[in-house]
Amino acid sequence: MSRKERKAQQEEVLQEEILEETAEETPAIDVAKLQQDYDKAAAQAEEYLNLAQRVQADFDNFRRRNESVRADAYAEGQRAVAAAMLPVLDNLERALDAAASSSDEALKSGVELTLKQMRDAYAKYDVTPIDRLGEKFDPNLENAIMQGSPDEGEPGTVCMVLQKGYKMGDHVLRFAMVKVVPD
């Protein structure tokens, strides 16, 4: 046998020994266990995805709810300020009535301009007077504080407005105080 042949034979024997050793060291692959591990990992990934989607939905709901609460609080603040300024408007109207009987035209003109400016500011925020003189009494808009006589108008109608009421949009800021003809 030649040297090359012996070397080739030794290499073959060596490779067979290596294969036998690695076959003994490497355990058999358990496909069922691998499938079980894969299924477990896939289920956990699905659970995490569902959790992330729920958290995202909760956050979107929170954001929408928060925007709604903020808008409601802003509107309530506007109504509170408008209601707080109503006595000022009443006093300007009284001052104009008092100035009408006086000879001071400068005072009368100044009060008229201030009253106009106040009414314009209220109109900008949709604050309107509740003017229902001669109309059917509505307890949602008016407080009846006096009863009139039957000769003052139709039964159940407002015959006199003692204090103007105001509303902002659909919200009543102050109920009108009225005198009503009894039914």
Is the pLDDT assigned to residue 150 strictly greater than 90? no
Tens digit of each residue's pLDDT (9 = 90 or more) over 17-44: 777 766 555 566 788 888 999 999 999 9
Give a yes or no: residue 51 inside a domain. no
Structural domain harbouring 143: 128-183
Give a yes or no: residue 156 inside a domain. yes
Report whether 164 contacts 131 (CB < 8 A).
Answer: yes
The tally of domains found in the chain comes to 1
Give a yes or no: residue 147 inside a domain. yes
- Can you give the pLDDT at residue 85? 94
- Whole-number Å distance between alpha carbons of 164 and 170: 16
Report whether 95 contacts 118 (CB < 8 A).
Answer: no
Give a yes or no: residue 58 inside a domain. no
Count the helices and strands in the chain (H runs, E runs): 3, 6
Give a yes or no: residue 5 inside a domain. no
Report whether 168 contacts 135 (CB < 8 A).
Answer: no
Supply the CATH number for residue 164's domain: 2.30.22.10
When pLDDT is averaged across residues 160-175 and rounded to a whole number, the result is: 94
Is the pLDDT assigned to residue 47 strictly greater than 90? yes
Kind and range of the H or E run holding 160? strand 158-163
Distance in Å from the first CA to the final CA of the chain: 137
